[in-house]
Amino acid sequence: MKKGKVLVFTRVLYVLFAIGTIISLFIAYKDIDGDIAFKFLMGYLFFTFFILVYIPFITILNSRKLKWIEIRKRLFGFIILFVSFGTSNYILDYIFRPDNISLFREFSIALGVAFGVTFADVTFLKKNRN
């Protein structure tokens, strides 16, 4: 696939994921029980796993176009955000829910948010960038 097609494909995936999320929340909220709803939710689950693999892969491919100093700056920002989000999640859960603290939950949320904030623009990086 050419870079322009990858960019369009990534944007289409984001739009489909947003629409699928809205429909899935509607199905869950209205407690719709049926064969079509179950099949849709299973397809949405597989699509979510595909997105979880595709987005980091495309981000790594697009980050090859960046200069080393810019990559280093982003990695440093990622580490700082990851540690700060992780510790703030842990502290807030310790204050509000001390009986139900899960370090996997705390740091997986921090990992996703830090990755999204730091590398969101790299995912949509165009071929010709100065």
pLDDT classification of 126: cutoffs 50, 70, 90: low
In the numeric block, which tokens belong to residue 29?
Answer: 């909220």
pLDDT at residue 88 above 90?
yes
pLDDT digits (tens, 9 = 90+) for 24-58: 999 999 988 889 999 999 999 999 999 999 988 98
Q: Report domain extents, the chain.
A: 1-64, 66-130
In the numeric block, which tokens belong to residue 114?
Answer: 């830090």
As a whole number of Å, the end-to-end CA separation of the chain is 22
Instruction: Decide: residue 17, CB within 10 A, 0-12 exposed, 13-18 middle, 19+ buried.
Output: middle
- The residue written with tokens 């969101």 in the block is 120
Task: Look at residues 88, 63, 75 and name the one whose alpha carbon lies nearest to residue 115.
Answer: 75
Which whole number is the average pLDDT over 112-120?
A: 90
pLDDT digits (tens, 9 = 90+) for 51-61: 999 988 988 88
Which whole number is the average pLDDT over 70-89?
A: 94
